[in-house]
Structure 1
Amino acid sequence: MMNVKVIAFDADDTLWVNEPYFRRTEEKFCTLFSEFLSPHDIERELLKIEIGNLGLYGYGIKGFMLSMIETALKVTDGRMNADAIEKILNLGKELLNEPIELLEGVEQVLQSLQGRYKLVVATKGDLLDQERKLKKSNLTQYFHHIEVMSEKDDASYQKLVKHLDIQPQELLMVGNSLKSDILPVLNIGGYAIHVPYHITWVHEMVESQVEHENFKSVTHIQDILQYLPL
């Protein structure tokens, strides 16, 4: 990684807690309609509808709210009343107002790297929501650029590399998702370090093992420093 000039960090579940909040909201949602279907079956239906809607709504809480409403309509066979809709909207608003809890070691790592590398955030989700979370995190000072992508694929990372005016081999991506943070960057010739999080959304899971000369996997985010000239 001697050639690395830019280090990009995923945001959700790499810099701060995210997926546990979604899981908790899902549980509350499934409980709301448990008289119609078992929580497990509701959760499965929600996931199917949510993934089916990604092309329309993209990633983020607002799309998740709409998918919950659509799921409730299907589960109740269209008999959902206005009170139920209000409860779903309130669940979404609660999710939007969850506190930003930085993961252990994140700020120390950014402090160690600042000034030595150009640091950026490369994340998916709703632009307004991700900007809000970044502001509440008090990490903005460390980053040269914020990139909120509609999808994290090869083309999106190629676009990022071009925008930053670097070569792919000068980019290191750090994130918790093999599917979104690691594989596309390796595909374009960059470096990637996987920092697993204990909860992963099903849509982000991959079954295959990653074997690549530009790939590393660590237990904690502080461990990335051992691979970087400081």
Structure 2
Amino acid sequence: MINCIIIEDAPLAVEKLKNFISKVPLLHLVCTFENGLEAFDYLQTNTIDLLFLDIQMEQFTGLQLLKALHTRPYIIIVSAYGEYAVQGFEYDVTDYLLKPYSFERFLKAVNKVQAEMSSTSIIPSISREYIFLKTEYRMVRINLCDILYVEGKGAYLHVITETARIMTLLSFKEIESLLPSEQFIRIHKSYLIAINKIDNIERNVVKIGNVRIPVGKSYLKDFYQRLQ
């Protein structure tokens, strides 16, 4: 679970964020603030994983808040002004949502946060037990132990379990950052597999259930080294 807050002074923008957050099981909205000063006071005594932060606010702007915070949570800037993007990324923000933004774009930003948290073990339950994947307009929870393999088809990835085929717009790079490397390995430009689901290997072809998956030439050495 990612605990988040909204720092935004426009009521309609707040409602949009609340609506999008409510559709993502991974996110838990703790509270909202109309200005950066109130949020700064709150963050001095409370731990939050993620800020959805507007830039242009009265009293205390988003950039002033970023400068004032000694320890920053993950930050997704939400702004109608693209000219602040460079300044924002100087503070290591995870993503920059330019208004108006779609739910799909919102999910992409949240996925970046999830991937960064997983890679740094801030939320180890995600890296060890399950992940959330965006598919269409939902975030779907998938237990890692259920994944057989991931197959790339065109612009999409298909995550295959024993009971389902889940399609997502994630790239291989993005999904590899979510999956623990000790359990999963890329064996082909179009395939990533769960090591413990391999039934047998013959002539550089991996068999998982009734599916035969070739090991690409550029992946052979690393694959067999991992098996040893």
Q: TM-score of the superposition, structure 2-length normalised? A: 0.30
For CA contacts below 8 A with separation 6 or more, give which structure has more relative contact order.
1
Q: Which has the larger radius of gyration?
A: 2
Q: Tell me which protein shows more strand as a share of its residues.
A: 2
Q: Tell me which protein shows more helix as a share of its residues.
A: 1
